[in-house]
Amino acid sequence: MPLLRGFSKVDEGGLVAIPSNIREQAGLFPGSIVNIKIVRIKNSGRWPYLIVHNSRVLPRLSMFQVVMMEVEAEIDNESRLILTKDILRDVKLEPGYRVEIKLVGPKEAPWLVIYNRGSNRLTTLQEKMGRLGKGGRGGKKWQTQKWEY
């Protein structure tokens, strides 16, 4: 279960802005070097995702998660994560795509998980709020059920 959740967009230079409350809780600060793991779930068609952590935190992985690549990256002075072209290609991110950022792990040593949400896909929070109706106006909020005895 995520401790915090936020959303961002990939800009033209491959930079992802991390919300300050999430970044500080994870112990990531402007100008710091972070470790990135590109992770994929075994035997799944899901897109790979990123696990971002500092060097003193080791994220917990399940036996279904496969680490495809491990690299180091930097957080610039404006609290943006700098992603290289290789990382963007492996996670299938392009400029303008939305990302969902979750703070997960134990309270003493959390890490970030960054999911690719694509160019026009709604975030999970928007889906749960029912914004999937026609034209984006929202779906049914209430359902009527009849029980006959």
* Cα–Cα dist 78/134, whole Å: 38
Q: What is the pLDDT of residue 43?
A: 86
pLDDT in tens, 67-79: 998 999 999 888 8
In 3D space, the residue among 41, 100, 94, 104 whose CA is nearest the CA of residue 67 turns out to be: 41
* Cα–Cα dist 125/75, whole Å: 26
Residue 132 belongs to a domain: no
Q: What is the pLDDT of residue 138?
A: 55
Q: Give the count of domains, the chain.
A: 1
pLDDT in tens, 34-70: 999 999 998 888 889 999 998 888 888 888 998 998 9
Decide if pLDDT at 9 tops 80. Answer: yes
Distances (CA, A) of 116 to 17, 47, 55, 144: 14, 7, 24, 35
Contact 49, 101 (CB under 8 A): no
Q: What confidence category does residue 31 fall into, taking pLDDT thresholds of 50, 70 and 90?
A: confident
Residue 145 belongs to a domain: no
Q: What confidence category does residue 6 fall into, taking pLDDT thresholds of 50, 70 and 90?
A: confident
Instruction: Tell me which residue range forms the domain holding 73.
Output: 4-125
Residue 134 belongs to a domain: no
- Residue 15 belongs to domain with CATH number: 3.40.1550.20
Decide if pLDDT at 144 tops 80. Answer: no
pLDDT in tens, 91-130: 888 888 888 999 998 888 889 999 988 876 665 666 666 6
Q: What is the pLDDT of residue 39?
A: 93
Q: Which residues pair with 52 in a beta bridge?
A: 36, 112
